[in-house]
Amino acid sequence: MNHPVVIIAGPKMGKKHMVNMVKASGVAARILEEVAPVDIPQLINQPSSTLITTDVSFLNSSAAYKDKCFRVPLTTIMPKHLNRWNPVDWKCTGGHPALASAQNSNQRRRVSQELQHHWKDKLTINPLAYDALEDLRNHPYSTPAEHYQRIRKDHGPCVKSTLDWLVCLGTIHRQKYRNGAGIVPIPLL
């Protein structure tokens, strides 16, 4: 590893799982978990075998450090990959890793409530993302492609960075569909 690896994700998106996989692999790396975004620049100044996990609030500013680290934004899981190991009800999870790993509906409800609490805190720092997510949630019967087209129309063509942030936070799922790009809000229970 020539550059530090920075895993960027919202709550319960799998940062700890990734850290545990690296630890289990025996790879010699310094691991720094839940580093505050303001502290990352000083940690990635020099090439090193370091794994850093951080919050979604580092996503947009991380682009400035693309030559100094390998950035890994975690996202929701596509249906074909989600069902590869265990059959999971896509409509109940939207591909969110924590919801998908819940063993039953009661556990999924508890995880959903925790996520909503965390998301509320994070969305206060990104009003554009909050508005886009509310727009999606207020049109629950649209197709994924219709969601995407409406969001682009209502929020402008520069909405991509906002959607990237929402995906990394874990509040929406985005993928290509037959009708083109599409987005779906993660279901709330």
Domain boundary among 73, 97, 130: 73
Domain count, the chain: 2
Residue 156 pLDDT = 86
CA dist., res. 49 & res. 70, Å (int): 11
146-177 pLDDT tens trace: 999 999 998 887 899 999 999 999 999 999 88
pTM, two decimals, is: 0.91
Q: Indicate the pairing of strand 5-9 with strand 180-185.
A: unpaired
Residue 85 pLDDT = 67
The separation between the first and the last C-alpha atoms of the chain, rounded to the nearest angstrom, is: 41
CA dist., res. 151 & res. 28, Å (int): 44
Closest CA to 93 of 79, 106, 74, 114: 79
CA dist., res. 45 & res. 65, Å (int): 9
25-41 pLDDT tens trace: 988 899 999 999 999 99
Neighbours of 108 (CB within 10 A): 21
Co-location of 85 and 149 in the same domain: yes
Co-location of 95 and 62 in the same domain: no
Domain boundary among 14, 47, 73: 73
Domain boundary among 48, 73, 98: 73
Q: Is 1 a residue whose pLDDT tops 60?
A: no
Average pLDDT of the chain to the nearest whole number: 91
99-148 pLDDT tens trace: 999 988 999 999 999 999 999 999 999 999 999 999 999 987 788 999 99
Range of the domain at 33: 5-73
45-77 pLDDT tens trace: 887 889 999 999 999 999 999 899 999 999 998
Residues 6+ apart with CB under 8 A from 98: 12, 13, 111, 114, 115, 170
CA dist., res. 42 & res. 19, Å (int): 21
Co-location of 60 and 37 in the same domain: yes
Tokens of 40: 């990352």
